[in-house]
Amino acid sequence: MMELLRWRGRSRRLFAELKAHFGQGDLTQLSIATREFPQRVRADLQRVMESLFEPPDHVRKFLSVRQEQNYAEITFSGLLSPGWMPPAVISPPEYEEIDIGEDRPVRCLKAGLWLAERNGAPYAVLMSPAGHHGMVTGISFQIATAGNEASADIAESTFRKLESGVQQGRCYRGKVLSLEMQHSYTGQSTGIKVHKLPPVNRDQVVLSDKTLTLLDRNIVQFVQRRAQLASLGQATRKGILFYGPPGTGKTYTIRC
């Protein structure tokens, strides 16, 4: 009981920050919109967040938050009306490093709360791990607003910017990937593992002229005409399936 009271005392500051940000009205009247992103886009999402929330031109304050029980999710509902579970508290920022196959990993924030304002309308953004039964399945973004039409536009435009930034993300472009569930021995979170393969020269690929011509037409020439295809409303993404027994040049070809 004493431990729970101590936790609740630490959470009062977080509640007070939200109360001061939105004014002294009834916080239960806030409108909360939620979007969830998959773990595989976490590195790209971090870079989008940095461009949206830093420098803090419309952000009044940033707070790093942490849930006392790791298996419990952090939600605005829990922050504004805590139940019997130990509440979330303000803490130093926690980061997890994501390997994207470059010299330095991407430092991804675990959970954070941004208190912001746009055109005089206050709103708050809560980012935290999303999961079920103690397993993290993605990243959750919740946006709390006053509930009027102008505030709804703030939430919708913020989500659009996040989604657009992720779609244009380039953390894994042009890299050889495989899906991984566990952490690497370096302590870096993987989720997606980037394989650092040595390059292969064209003359090292032993394929027939007919096959090489077919690959050139469907890969190289396709990429060269991507802008033209887009202007005609055609799809600009394409996948190639390689098949055959070991030793026929599949791996060498994708590294060329």
Question: Could you tell me if 190 and 108 are in contact, meaning their C-beta atoms sit under 8 angstroms apart?
Answer: no
Q: What is the structure's pLDDT at 181?
A: 58
Q: What is the structure's pLDDT at 1?
A: 47
Q: For the chain, list residues with pLDDT below 50.
A: 1-5, 7, 84, 184
pTM of the model: 0.74
CA distance 235 to 226: 9
Burial of 111 (0-12, 13-18, 19+ CB in 10 A): buried
Q: What is the structure's pLDDT at 7?
A: 47
Ordered by start, the domain boundaries in the chain are 2-167, 198-254
Please give the sequence-ordered ranges of beta strands (E in DSSP) within 134-201, or none if there are none. Answer: 135-145, 176-179, 192-195
